[in-house]
Structure 1
Amino acid sequence: MNVAPRTPRREGTQGWVIGRAAGAPVILSPSWLVAAAVLTLLFVPTVRNLAPWLGGVATYLVALTFVVLLFFSVFLHELAHGFVARSRGLEVREFAITLWGGHTAFGGAAATPGSSALIAVVGPLTNLAVAVVCWLAVLAVPAGGLVSIVLYAGAIANGFVAVFNLIPGLPLDGGRVLEAAVWRTSGDRARGTIVAGWGGRVVAIGFVAWVLLRPLLSGRQPDLFTVGWAALIGAFLWSGATQAIRGARAQRALDGLTIAAVARPAVGVPYGVTLGEAESRAVAAGVDQVLLLAPDGRPAGYVDGAAAATVPTPARPSTPVQAVAVPLPVGAVVDGALGGAALVEAVGRVGRFSEAMAVVVDGRVSGIVFARDVVAALGARP
């Protein structure tokens, strides 16, 4: 039986690739079908009020047209983000149309506050321009007709997408603009993200409060459906804002990471010495860790403290140090001059084949790093 090779699963949003733009795939998520069906049912009463002469099937088709226009507005919004980001040197990885509308995934972050703000604001401005065009078209066609109704829906949809996304709180585009403004003023990108993330949390709470309090202030009880979708959108906004805050704090920890914060100072000893001699050299150097050096000077192992502790004191002067050493694979070294993301990348690369690695500065062994210590310093889970 012939077995065809399995196609690797594509990373990112799962769904149907319906095209490409700005060098990236356009993905239609299956969740969009759920959103389209629900929104079509919600738009049906509106269509009946605007066009009572339509039949049952036609009413649903027009409602579906409204939904498609709404998502097309979101798609234009994301395309604007993508093309401007690409012009600013960012890699665009995908455009996705999902249950929540859509998103654009990039292979990095904007290098300057100006680029970040421009990439963010161009999406809502695109929707605003489309809303104006649709509104001018509404004024140019006969009032009350089906074309007029569809154009009116396009103006409202794009206007809503533009205004909603300009609210100053992450994960909305207005939050990115706020982030860029704080970043530009303070010189600290993480601070900008944290401020905009808290803005997003305020927006989430404010949105839910507005949706629920508005009917109460008019003497009505909010229905269960209103409570449900308000809570859902509020939870989405809160989650996005919280993730942004956590990401900024993690990035700040990453940027501040140094080899001194994670390395354990060590002394290098030749392979032929005894455990007692190695310990004497460590005491003289004022360190706790001992690295074994091969004849060519390469770090070839390190003393296992637990194993060394089992050697009786009288036997330590005669016990070969390699008897209590853990071998280090060739290449298990990290440059002591590294820091931040470069250090984490180097540790991650070596950590694929060795949990420990020697720190080398100007060709001289100065310490040892364990991958678990780097993980702990970043405040992350392995």
Structure 2
Amino acid sequence: MPPQPRPTKGFSLGTLVGARIIVQPSTLVMLAVLAFIFASGSGEVSSRTFILGLSLAVILFASVFLHEASHALVVRAFGRRVDEIVLTLWGGHTSFDARNLTPAVAGVTALAGPAANLVLGLGIMGAAGLGLLTGLPGQILAWAGYANLLLAAFNALPGIPMDGGRVLESLVWAMTGKRHTGMLVAAWGGRVVAIGLVLWAVGTPLLQGQQPDLFSLVWAVLLFSILWPAASAALKHSQTVGRRIGVTAGTLMSPAAPVPYDVTVADALVTAESYGATEIVVLSADGAPAGRFDVGIARSVPEERRPATGLDAVAMPLPRGASVELDDDAERLVERLREWWGKTDAWVVLRDGEPVGVLRLLDAMNALR
């Protein structure tokens, strides 16, 4: 199991299904901003209207939390580890163990957030429609329903970084068998959504013969500044994922021959020639890889000295455990890079526990970036 990511900084509110619930300080800033915006909607800001605005802002962020909690609960239902639920300046995100995802897991997890807001919003609006609460409590209840429906609609938009984009990615992935194709389509969807929001804010009032509303325009531009970079980053990542298809430790390694620690350089060269290897892996007394060296280094030893030269003169030590499996794919290699970068410059590549190659971390990084 991979190590858990470094905890996000912020205020901790406990845990849910093992995930830390974190509220970043910027969330409090947004609460105050939204409270002021809601309070000034009537044209007058007073302590009463500000308290009402703050209540509406808290309801909005509570709806965001329920959205993220739904993601977490579904991820946990799939048996995956959930690390954090984080509320941020612009909403929130849920981090979890995303190794070896399938289209079904990714799609259902993404769908859970908007679906929860939709069900909650419809339920609250139905309750508000019964008229059991009137006046200010009734208005707040109606707002809670509206906020959830708004979150559901926005997050269902078919483009990354919205959940609808992740659902679209999963559908294309399932149909084509290629995750990077799904990501590519959903990333372009995110760009279309970003442009569409600005066109909607400007075009709708113009078609009605009115000037664009400054408030709507500012929000549209603000959303564009968030959505366009996120979609562009996803587009770039899809290209990286595409390049990684078919990359394994076996395709990147240099062939290696294993030799015991107590042989000479001359013996090692004979073994390497019989294997057709360009690298030599030195085995310790218990058979574990303990060092390695390039055949070229061994050949630099004068021929007449090779029969009397031990491997300690040419071998570079390897930390115990610095190895990967022959069929480890790109995702696994990226994970191993995070674990081993700065601790070794190469891995031994194993097949059924036997060394068959050497993979330099720099070569792996260049192939996977």
Superposition map of 1:104-119 within 5 A: 104-108=94-98, 111-119=101-109
Map of 2:40 onto structure 1:
45
Of the candidates 17, 20, 23, which is equivalent to residue 18 of structure 2? Answer: 23
Of the candidates 168, 179, 193, which is equivalent to residue 158 of structure 2? Answer: 168
Q: 1:161, CA displacement in angstroms?
A: 0.9
Q: 1:138, CA displacement in angstroms?
A: 3.4
Q: 1:144, CA displacement in angstroms?
A: 7.5
Of the candidates 28, 41, 48, which is equivalent to residue 58 of structure 1? Answer: 48
| 1:11 matches 2:6 | yes
CA distances 1:319-373 after superposition (whole Å, capped 9, x unpaired): 8364444344555544435444445556665666432233344565432221111
Q: 1:279, CA displacement in angstroms?
A: 5.4
Distance 1:302 1:11 in 2: 33
Question: Is the alpha carbon distance of 1:185 and 1:59 closer, same or farther for their aligned partners in structure 2, counting shifts above 3 Å?
Answer: same
* Percent identical: 37
Q: What residue identity is the alignment partner of 1:130?
A: L
**Would you say how many aligned residue pairs link Structure 1 and Structure 2?**
363
Of the candidates 91, 96, 104, which is equivalent to residue 86 of structure 2? Answer: 96
Map of 1:256 onto structure 2:
246
Map of 2:196 onto structure 1:
206
| 1:355 matches 2:345 | yes
Distance 1:142 1:198 in 2: 45
Tell me the secondary structure at the aligned position of residue 105 of structure 1.
strand
Of the candidates 98, 110, 126, which is equivalent to residue 120 of structure 1? Answer: 110
| 1:320 matches 2:327 | no
Q: 1:299, CA displacement in angstroms?
A: 4.7
Q: TM-score of the superposition, structure 1-length normalised?
A: 0.78
Contact residue 201 and residue 212 of structure 2 kept, 8 A? no
Distance 2:72 2:183 in 1: 21
Superposition map of 1:185-200 within 5 A: 185-200=175-190
Q: What residue identity is the alignment partner of 2:92?
A: G
Map of 2:360 onto structure 1:
370
Question: Is the alpha carbon distance of 1:303 and 1:316 closer, same or farther for their aligned partners in structure 2, counting shifts above 3 Å?
Answer: farther
Contact residue 334 and residue 368 of structure 2 kept, 8 A? no
| 1:220 matches 2:215 | no
Distance 1:351 1:373 in 2: 12
Tell me the secondary structure at the aligned position of residue 366 of structure 1.
strand
Consecutive unaligned residues in structure 2, runs of 5 or more = none
Distance 1:110 1:212 in 2: 43
Contact residue 337 and residue 365 of structure 2 kept, 8 A? no
Distance 2:122 2:350 in 1: 62
Question: Is the alpha carbon distance of 1:233 and 1:365 closer, same or farther for their aligned partners in structure 2, counting shifts above 3 Å?
Answer: same
Map of 1:238 onto structure 2:
228
Consecutive unaligned residues in structure 1, runs of 5 or more = 1-8
Contact residue 259 and residue 343 of structure 1 kept, 8 A? yes
Question: Is the alpha carbon distance of 1:365 and 1:113 closer, same or farther for their aligned partners in structure 2, counting shifts above 3 Å?
Answer: closer
Q: What residue identity is the alignment partner of 1:16?
A: F
Distance 1:362 1:90 in 2: 28
CA distances 1:279-309 after superposition (whole Å, capped 9, x unpaired): 5765665443344566776655444577568
Q: After alignment, is 79-88 or 58-67 more displaced?
A: 79-88
Q: What residue identity is the alignment partner of 1:107?
A: D
Question: Is the alpha carbon distance of 1:222 and 1:150 closer, same or farther for their aligned partners in structure 2, counting shifts above 3 Å?
Answer: closer
| 1:336 matches 2:323 | no
Distance 1:22 1:272 in 2: 53
Distance 1:94 1:179 in 2: 23
Q: TM-score of the superposition, structure 2-length normalised?
A: 0.80
CA RMSD after TM alignment: 3.6
Contact residue 131 and residue 138 of structure 2 kept, 8 A? yes
Q: 1:47, CA displacement in angstroms?
A: 4.0
Contact residue 99 and residue 331 of structure 2 kept, 8 A? no
Q: 1:269, CA displacement in angstroms?
A: 5.5
Q: Which structure has the bigger radius of gyration? A: 1
Map of 1:3 onto structure 2:
none
Map of 2:28 onto structure 1:
33
Distance 1:363 1:259 in 2: 14
Q: What residue identity is the alignment partner of 1:320?
A: T
Map of 2:128 onto structure 1:
138
